[in-house]
C-alpha cells in the first residue's frame, strides 16, 4: 500500500528549528513503522536519523511519537498506524532534541541511576542460590519487564512540566527492587522517592500505563510505592 510519512526533521548542524519532512513510500500493511523509516533512510534520504536495534520490541531503542502517541516504532504495524493514508512520526517529548528522532537520553538514565537500580543485600548468600518462593517472585514480576525505552516517562505531563521529576520508569525500577524479598535497600530507595521530585509528582494521569509497550501496570506500581511510603509497610 502507499503510505505518506510525515517525519519531524532537525539537523543541529544546519537547521534553526525542526520542520516536517514528507515522504511517499510503498509498504506492506504487515510491516512495522520502523521498516517504513528504514525504507525512507535506505531509498530516499540517508540523512534521516533514528535509533533502532532489535526490531521486535525488546531493546527499547526506538521510542517515538506516532500520530501523537508514544510507541516503539518496531512494535506498531503500518496497518494500525495509518490514518487517511498518512503516518506522523516525531521524537518523544521532554528530553533535549539532538537530531531528527534522536533525543538526549542522559537525563532519563540519570533518574534511573538515582533510585539505586541494583540488588542491595550484603549478607553472605552462601554456596547455593538464595531461596525465594514462587509467590515472592511473582510479587515484583511485572516491573522486571521494563526495557527502559522511556515511552512512559516522556508521555507524562508531570515530567514535561518538570524534568527533575524522577518519572515513571525510575519508579518502576525502584518497585522491582523494593518488592523483591531478597533486597534490603527499600528504605534507602523510599527515601529518594519521598523527595519533592519523587513519587508525589505523579498525578495518576495514567498516560504511562497506556503507552507502556511491555504492558506494565505502571500506575499501579507507582501506587504501591506511594502506599509503602504512607504505611511504612511492604505488602
Neighbours of 98 (CB within 10 A): 15
Closest contact distance (angstroms) between CB of 60 and ligand FES is: 5
d(CA 36, CA 55): 12
Q: How many residues bind ligand FES (CB under 6 A)?
A: 12
Candidates 9, 25, 27, 60: give the one binding ligand FES (CB under 6 A). 60
123 binds, among ligand FES, another protein, none (CB under 5 to 8 A by kind): none
128, three cell numbers: 547455593
Total residues found in the chain within this entry: 235
168-207 residues in contact with another protein (CB under 8 A) are: 177, 180, 182-183
16 near another protein, judged by CB under 8 A: no
Element (H, E) at 19: strand 19-26
Please list, in sequence order, all residues whose beta carbon lies within 8 angstroms of the beta carbon of residue 110, skipping any fewer than 6 positions away. Answer: none
The one segment of 4-12, 52-60, 168-176, 179-187 that binds ligand FES by CB under 6 A = 52-60
* Residues 208, 199: Cα–Cα separation, whole Å: 14
How open is the CA angle 135-141-142, to the nearest 5 degrees? 135
- Interface with another protein by CB under 8 A: which residues? 11-14, 30, 32, 41-43, 45-47, 49-61, 75, 77, 98-100, 102, 105, 109, 113, 116-119, 121, 125, 127-134, 136-137, 140-141, 144-145, 147-148, 177, 180, 182-183
Amino acid at each position: 500500500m502507499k503510505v505518506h510519512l510525515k517525519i519531524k526533521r532537525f539537523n543541529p548542524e544546519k537547521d534553526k528549528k525542526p520542520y516536517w519532512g514528507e515522504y511517499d513510500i510503498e509498504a506492506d500493511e504487515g510491516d512495522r513503522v520502523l521498516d517504513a523509516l528504514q525504507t525512507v533512510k535506505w531509498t530516499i534520504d540517508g540523512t534521516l536519523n533514528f535509533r533502532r536495534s532489535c526490531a521486535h520490541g525488546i531493546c527499547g531503542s526506538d521510542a517515538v511519537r506516532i500520530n501523537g502517541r508514544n510507541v516503539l516504532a518496531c512494535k506498531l504495524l503500518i496497518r494500525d498506524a495509518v490514518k487517511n493514508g498518512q503516518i506522523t512520526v516525531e521524537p518523544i517529548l521532554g528530553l533535549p532534541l539532538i537530531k531528527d528522532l534522536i533525543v538526549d537520553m542522559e537525563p532519563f538514565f540519570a533518574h534511573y541511576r538515582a533510585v539505586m537500580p541494583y540488588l542491595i543485600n550484603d549478607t553472605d548468600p552462601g554456596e547455593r542460590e538464595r531461596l525465594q518462593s514462587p509467590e515472592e517472585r511473582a510479587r515484583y514480576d511485572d516491573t522486571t519487564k521494563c526495557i527502559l525505552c522511556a515511552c512512559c516517562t516522556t508521555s507524562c505531563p508531570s515530567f514535561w512540566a518538570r524534568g527533575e521529576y524522577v518519572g515513571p520508569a525510575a519508579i518502576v525500577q525502584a518497585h522491582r527492587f523494593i518488592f523483591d524479598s531478597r533486597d534490603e535497600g527499600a528504605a534507602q530507595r523510599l527515601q529518594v522517592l519521598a523527595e519533592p521530585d519523587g513519587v508525589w509528582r505523579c498525578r495518576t494521569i495514567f498516560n504511562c500505563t497506556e503507552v507502556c509497550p511491555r504492558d506494565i501496570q505502571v500506575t499501579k506500581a507507582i501506587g504501591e510505592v506511594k502506599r509503602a511510603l504512607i504505611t511504612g509497610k511492604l505488602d
